[in-house]
Chain A
Amino acid sequence: AQKVTQAQTEISVVEKEDVTLDCVYETRDTTYYLFWYKQPPSGELVFLIRRNSFDEQNEISGRYSWNFQKSTSSFNFTITASQVVDSAVYFCALSGAPGDDKIIFGKGTRLHILP
């Protein structure tokens, strides 16, 4: 069965601090995709990144970076120099092999960036 675990329910940091959101996943598929989404108070899910299971390179996009480690089934997300606008709920998610479009979401981590 596929499962995504985000152990951190809620995190609060002071602005400009770095923060890492943890994600651990379970799947029996050899080909799969991992995602991170941001959900601001407005409710709309904002796509941040998608990685496939064959690409373990870490990725950096501005203040955002992602660490994918297949050996530990983890796909962690780091925000560097956090800003108040980063306050939101962040979801890690998993989808299976091509042909299986459903996305399995974790329960999310609520991130508070304090000014």
Chain B
Amino acid sequence: NAGVTQTPKFRVLKTGQSMTLLCAQDMNHEYMYWYRQDPGMGLRLIHYSVGEGTTAKGEVPDGYNVSRLKKQNFLLGLESAAPSQTSVYFCASSYPAGGYSNQPQHFGDGTRLSIL
């Protein structure tokens, strides 16, 4: 009963370092999303994917890259970490959400990332 699994759960980086956050889902969902959550600002969409091999920019994509090589995995990369990227990162997945579909998004438990 895994659902959406994020690794790692915690990480501390120095400014300029790079890292990759991994998201895996076992629900055969087509859509996957990466969000960041900061105090008082709600969830902001970084990138999303509507299927294997496709990605698209969200609201705050700068400084991040993503890849969806396999349907079940969605990777978020920080090329050169900056203190402004200190946040809690959430991955989510859903069935297709186009049109009037109201499919729920299923979330992982987050990765807490600190950039010093």
Do they bind each other? no
Residues of chain A touching chain B, judged by Cβ–Cβ distance below 8 Å, are none
